Structure 1
Amino acid sequence: MTMLSTLPKTETTAQERTRNTGAHLVVRTLEKLGVTRIFGYPGGAIMPVYDALTGSSLQHVLVRHEQAAAFAADAQARITGKAGVCLATSGPGATNLLTGIANAYMDSVPMVILTGQVPSGLMGTDAFQEVDVFGMTLPVVKHSIIIRDANRIPELIEEAFRIAEEGRPGPVLIDLPKDVLQAEAFPPSPGAPRPAAKPLLASTPLLDAATVLLAQARRPVLYIGGGVGLGGAIEPLRDFMARTGIPAVATLKGLGTPHPDALNFLGMLGMHGTRTANMAVNESDLLVCVGARFDDRATGKPDTFAPDARIIHIDGDPAEIGKLRWADVAMNCDIADALTRLDPGYLAIEDWRQTCAARLTAFAFDYDAPGSGIFAPALLKQLSEAAGDKFIAACDVGQHQMWVAQHCRFAQPSSHLTSAGLGAMGYGLPAGIGAAMERPDMKVVTITGDGSIMMNIQELATARRYGVPIRILLLDNGTLGLVRQWQEYFFEQNFSEIDLYDNPDFAEVARAFGVESFTVHSRDEVPGAIDRLLRSRGPILAHVLIDPRENVWPLVPPGASNADMMEN
């Protein structure tokens, strides 16, 4: 049997590298745009691009499933602020990307997706591996392009990157018929680059109106969403918090935007938010919503959310203002500009600040759980504190996702990578790979569960192949924990199809992939496990056994007000 790695490699000549096929133009355009790394998986229709990759400066990361390519590119974009790039072939390759595309769309992540397509003459004939990926992805992309003329490849790829990154970011799909990739092309000389869109500055009359509301307020709350980070307004937001002293809460995507040590930050709000955060919002008389969209997981029952509060809504996307809650002052503008210029001076809210501060102490999480078993919230708190400002969590979906949001410390929004809007299990491992390849200097930890990791466990092979410096913390409770918790409290303990009793030994599985691994059974092993994880360059997996009966608290029941939190 001949191993592929022993086959002779053909040298790429200078003439081959300068060929002007559509596929070569794709590669050279990506290089020109500063792309250095792409994630993908080859196949028939996209094969001309793979042929053109040989000898290019692009690092291609071969994942083991196309969904992982999209998730890794998503994390790459969240880390860098630039569009991540993934590619796949037509048919199943393209459809396997779909969940990752939807994830990027829901979380406003800039991404450019390249898909191969059957030759133009066969499109619409149900050819082998043909699907209408253009039509299938329309609801979950910012823009879609089918390139039918190879001469337009540089122009349209550059346009795709501009659209993906400008304004509210999002994914852009480029579908590439195989004949277009194989055609000789002689594109025209590029024209003058299109100037970047100028940010829309805050209106002075609206700033004045907001200042009046702030001066009148006695119980204001700053409600922070993911749009602040997307708008490059992290430092203006932190400065505004410090200048005004207004108590602040954050959404799942807003975590890391307030400085984690800010005394007036009350934590996450919403379904699994802190009691202090939800009580503050419920009692507020003014809600300053910045880069958030009144999502149902944050607001609970809409007509009971901040029932007595007037609203100042500042957002870069006009579609979000007034969509779910009418605003007394609606400011569609550059968030950084608005926060910098909004200066209400002294606010008579000292009593309110003291009330919120006292609640932070009174309702602080208790990490002194009984017994010798591993208490996941305490473990996660200790892990993030040990890693410090170098900590990046690439988190999957489930109970562990909520524990991470509640108990981990994030220095920046880009330190918290999670599938927020879509809630896609399987995100954590490929996202961790994408993040760790971009920032090998950071302590990137994929935090996953025994349910989530099985969605994309094959990417252990990718981590091993590229020596990715990733640490994997696998919390194993032998069940689909969040579903089990809901069945316990809202479905009369009818535990239907949540038992994962037949899980493999994940440490052994990791070792079979060539990944270092170990198992943690008891609480006294936790400090050593954290130290081993963080000292390792990775890839490394810690298989942590936790109690299947442990739940996430607090919890706002479905359809209830955020004021009606359940607690253990």
Structure 2
Amino acid sequence: MTGAIPTIEAVTAAKHQTTQRKSAGHVIVESLEAHGVERVHIVPGESFLDVLDGLHESSIETVICRHEGGATYMAEADGKLLPIPGVAMVTRGPGAANAHVGLHTAWQDSTALVLFVGLIPFEHREKEAFQEFDPKQWFGSGAKRVMVLDHPARASEVVAEAMFAASAGRPGPVVVGLPEDIIKMEVDGAIHPYIPVASGGMTVEDWKSLRQSLLESEKPLFVFGGNDWTHAGAEQFTKWLEDHSLPAAAEWRCEGTVPFDSPSYVGPLGYGRPAFSNKLLEETDLIVFVGTVPGDVITSGFTGRQNWDQRNFIVTIDPDLRGRSGPLSHQIVSKPDVFIRDLVRMDLPVKDSWREWTQELRGQQEEFSALPSATPGEGKASMDTLMANLVPLLPQDAMVTFGAGEHTNWAHRYFPTRGYASMISARNGSMGYSVPSAVAAALQYPERFVVTIAGDGEFLMNGQELATATQYGATPLVIVSDNQEYGTIRTHQERDYPGRVSGTQLQNPDFAKLAEAFGGVGIRVETDAEVPDAVRRAVEVVKEGKQFALLHLITDQRQKAF
């Protein structure tokens, strides 16, 4: 995988690198190279021109985005896809403000992200200079650390500290402020080595306690989530679950870590969850949360799994257990991969009750996720028909991304996620994430088929990043479900204020023509009868690998996934 964590050899080489005088901005770029960064997402600004100059001859690809929110979303998606933090660069004041949405996403989704922000010159500070702001005041409550490079000699050290802080413990966003004059100053060009991240692990007491609790349990359940996994760890976890006939459910928008078609996968736990999964939290006599905690989404607003007699194990590297609710029997302070390394040594006798429990849950999930009829119906385009025709055409390693809205429920229900990070989304419910995350995924994995599903309201928040897709050769399939409203808010509105629709209705452009203007292939689909042919055409375009394709589906406002 690209973006690999530096090896010991690379760290040693960085320590002994021959030094020469360079600007601090150039040292920042070389330090990112030494940490395995292969791509940065930027919106340029005069405040960090020396860093841009350093990128000119760098091995790092500079992806120029059309909005700071899009750039930071792309970097946040990289943080989910890679074993190292995603990196974004924006300018001061308005640029930093626009980037804040990506920081909030990284904070709530526990994604390793480093955001570099160009700042006014040091000597202009606290004079209300043009676009001045205090990054520590702005970002202090929503980032793991906020650092400002106040001395050029610390440029490489600050990069190393930022990359470390974003990854250490519970991953999250780090902000680095770069004063315009400081980064131009020449310094010794030595590169600070990579700082290793502690990964925890099971103690003997942890191992024995978990083993005994599993042996005593008749209906155990594993719940997986978070972004701090590797593909190898997820595969080992899945094999161990299957070997022991144990069930696993997904945290909201984390599907795929245990594959969609695994006999151990029993469905998602999140907003819009299937009815049968609502019972899971109370029916099980033991839950082992791996990489996540029983927060408000999993527990339906801190209402489920609140009985203090219930047994919960939580596996997370975060000792603060932020977001947790309900009982805690035992915490194992570990990143998922290290926990799994120790878990797979635990060979347990498989109980008949485990087999029966897992088979029952798996049967419910298979019934829930079975594709609807591929035969079109009458009237407007249907998302059911779209998914029924799309899924059989997808390669085994297809990926899906999306932002927020009711249109995402079709992906949760039907998309065949078959590996870690095959579903990339924003668990903070942020709109506008779909297109930037698809561009990031398609650039990172050009050989894979990337699908993004957007609503009409969400698409216009960052749809302009399709220009970025064309510029850098990213070719995702973009699906826009156009029901001319902010559908999720309308649903809440009808529940609380029935018959009083206000502030949720939209009038939209022709998204297919917009796609063509951005350099892709746009296909407008007004009736359900048109869906099968439109899907085939769009899939063919994406598989050719020359352009992105966009399907603009005119859908009914009453359409629901479940």
TM-score by length of 1: 0.87
- SS of equivalent residue, structure 1 residue 296: coil
Report the equivalent of 2:264. Answer: 264
Q: Is the 8 A contact 2:256 2:422 kept in 1?
A: yes
Q: State the shift of 1:487 in Å.
A: 1.6
Q: Is the 8 A contact 2:369 2:414 kept in 1?
A: no
Provide the C-alpha distance between the structure 2 equivalents of 1:85 and 1:361, rounded to a whole number of angstroms.
39
Report the equivalent of 1:104. Answer: 106
Q: State the shift of 1:40 in Å.
A: 0.8
Change (3 A) 1:230 1:297: farther
Q: Is the 8 A contact 1:446 1:473 kept in 2?
A: yes
Provide the C-alpha distance between the structure 1 equivalents of 2:57 and 2:387, rounded to a whole number of angstroms.
43
Q: State the shift of 1:509 in Å.
A: 1.9
Q: Is the 8 A contact 1:225 1:291 kept in 2?
A: yes
Task: After TM superposition, list the pairs within 5 Å mapping 1:338-353 onto structure 2.
Answer: 338-349=342-353, 350-353=355-358
Report the equivalent of 1:403. Answer: 410
Q: Which runs of 5+ in 2 are unaligned?
A: 1-19
- SS of equivalent residue, structure 1 residue 312: strand
Change (3 A) 1:322 1:83: closer
Report the equivalent of 1:517. Answer: 522
Q: Is the 8 A contact 1:282 1:306 kept in 2?
A: no
Change (3 A) 1:170 1:321: closer
- How many residues were matched structurally? 532
Q: State the shift of 1:552 in Å.
A: 4.1
Change (3 A) 1:475 1:322: closer
Report the equivalent of 1:314. Answer: 315
Question: Which amino acid is 1:93 matched to?
Answer: G
Change (3 A) 1:496 1:242: same
Q: Is the 8 A contact 1:281 1:306 kept in 2?
A: no
- 2:326 maps to 1:325: yes
Report the equivalent of 2:225. Answer: 225
Change (3 A) 1:309 1:344: farther
- 2:25 maps to 1:23: yes
* Bigger shift: residues 295-304 or 146-155: 295-304
Q: State the shift of 1:458 in Å.
A: 1.9
Q: State the shift of 1:322 in Å.
A: 9.1
Work out the percentage of aligned pairs sharing the same amino acid: 28
- 2:340 maps to 1:336: yes
Match of residue 170, structure 1, among 166, 169, 172: 172
Q: State the shift of 1:496 in Å.
A: 1.4
RMSD: 2.4
Q: State the shift of 1:150 in Å.
A: 0.9
Q: State the shift of 1:345 in Å.
A: 2.0
Q: State the shift of 1:400 in Å.
A: 1.4
Change (3 A) 1:552 1:232: same
Change (3 A) 1:312 1:23: closer
Report the equivalent of 1:376. Answer: 383
Report the equivalent of 1:534. Answer: 539
Change (3 A) 1:263 1:231: closer
Q: State the shift of 1:174 in Å.
A: 1.0
Change (3 A) 1:306 1:393: same
Q: Is the 8 A contact 2:135 2:146 kept in 1?
A: no
Q: Deviations over 1:244-269 (max 9, x none)?
A: 21222111243101122112322112
Provide the C-alpha distance between the structure 2 equivalents of 1:395 and 1:69, rounded to a whole number of angstroms.
16
Q: Is the 8 A contact 2:106 2:113 kept in 1?
A: yes
Q: State the shift of 1:223 in Å.
A: 1.8
Provide the C-alpha distance between the structure 1 equivalents of 2:198 and 2:43, rounded to a whole number of angstroms.
37
Report the equivalent of 2:484. Answer: 478
Change (3 A) 1:518 1:231: closer
- SS of equivalent residue, structure 1 residue 42: coil
Provide the C-alpha distance between the structure 1 equivalents of 2:367 and 2:27, rounded to a whole number of angstroms.
62
Q: Is the 8 A contact 2:222 2:287 kept in 1?
A: yes
Q: Deviations over 1:464-523 (max 9, x none)?
A: 2223222211111111111112222233232111111x2111112222333321111233
Q: State the shift of 1:190 in Å.
A: 5.1
Change (3 A) 1:181 1:130: same
TM-score by length of 2: 0.88
Change (3 A) 1:221 1:53: closer
Provide the C-alpha distance between the structure 2 equivalents of 1:134 and 1:360, rounded to a whole number of angstroms.
46
Change (3 A) 1:179 1:283: same
